[in-house]
């Protein structure tokens, strides 16, 4: 039989440091497992550690340790998220900014990443998104289709002017309609 012996006297500071070190080591291993399954920002990692009931100061130390070890880089994470979201969802800068903040990237880092990875012409991105969506609106009257497609582009962070031009062009292409100038 194994009996656990519990000390009758308070523990000494050295064993307290050892326990804190064990806690941090366990939290570090937990953080590495989280990062092995999914890339995330330092803010999101800190949040996930806190959800697992890791104390704030331990979580902060672990996140810094992971950053120092080179396993976590918010700028690289933001850059890959921008590329993925632009390619997959055709998001404009405004929506990208919101998504990055949701993913735990600080606002300052999100702005810097957007500056570094800006699109040459956001109008082309809006037009590409509109062209993908427009065929689904073919059965609607022109006014309703314009309104819905414009709202779709706005929700994806495309500005008013770019969205308006993209809507007109995409719907003209789908319906085969060409605006003609009449001189009568």
Model pLDDT for residues 140-181, shown as the tens digit of each residue: 999 999 999 999 999 998 887 888 999 999 999 988 765 544
User: Over the stretch 33-51, which tens digit does the pLDDT of each residue have?
Assistant: 999 999 999 999 999 999 9
Same domain (yes/no): 78, 64: no
Residue 90: count other Cβ atoms within 10 Å of its Cβ: 22
* DSSP-derived secondary structure for 36-103: HH----HHHHHHHHHHTT--HHHHHHHHHHHHHTTS--HHHHHHHHHHHHHHHH---HHHHHHHHHHT
Same domain (yes/no): 81, 103: yes
Q: What is the CATH number of the domain that holds 41?
A: 1.10.10
Count: domains in the chain = 3
Q: Is residue 184 part of a domain?
A: no
Q: Is residue 7 part of a domain?
A: no
Q: Is residue 80 part of a domain?
A: yes
The two tokens of residue 92 are 């404009």
Domain span at residue 160 reads 122-175
């Amino acid at each position: 039989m194994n009996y656990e012996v519990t000390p009758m006297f308070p523990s000494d500071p050295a064993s307290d440091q050892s326990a804190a070190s064990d806690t941090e080591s366990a939290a570090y291993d937990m953080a590495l497992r989280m990062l092995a399954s999914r890339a995330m920002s330092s803010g999101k990692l800190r949040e996930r550690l806190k959800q697992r009931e890791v104390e704030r100061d331990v979580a902060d130390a672990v996140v810094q340790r992971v950053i120092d070890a080179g396993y976590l880089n918010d700028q690289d994470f933001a850059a890959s998220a921008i590329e993925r979201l632009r390619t997959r969802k055709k998001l404009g800068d405004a929506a990208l900014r919101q998504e990055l903040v949701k993913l735990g990237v600080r606002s300052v880092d999100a702005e810097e990443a957007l500056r570094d990875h800006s699109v040459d012409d956001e109008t082309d991105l809006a037009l590409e998104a509109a062209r993908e969506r427009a065929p689904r609106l073919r059965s609607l009257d022109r006014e309703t289709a314009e309104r819905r497609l414009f709202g779709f582009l706005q929700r994806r962070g495309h500005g008013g002017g770019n969205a308006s031009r993209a809507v007109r062009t995409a719907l003209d292409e789908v319906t085969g309609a060409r605006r003609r100038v009449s001189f009568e």
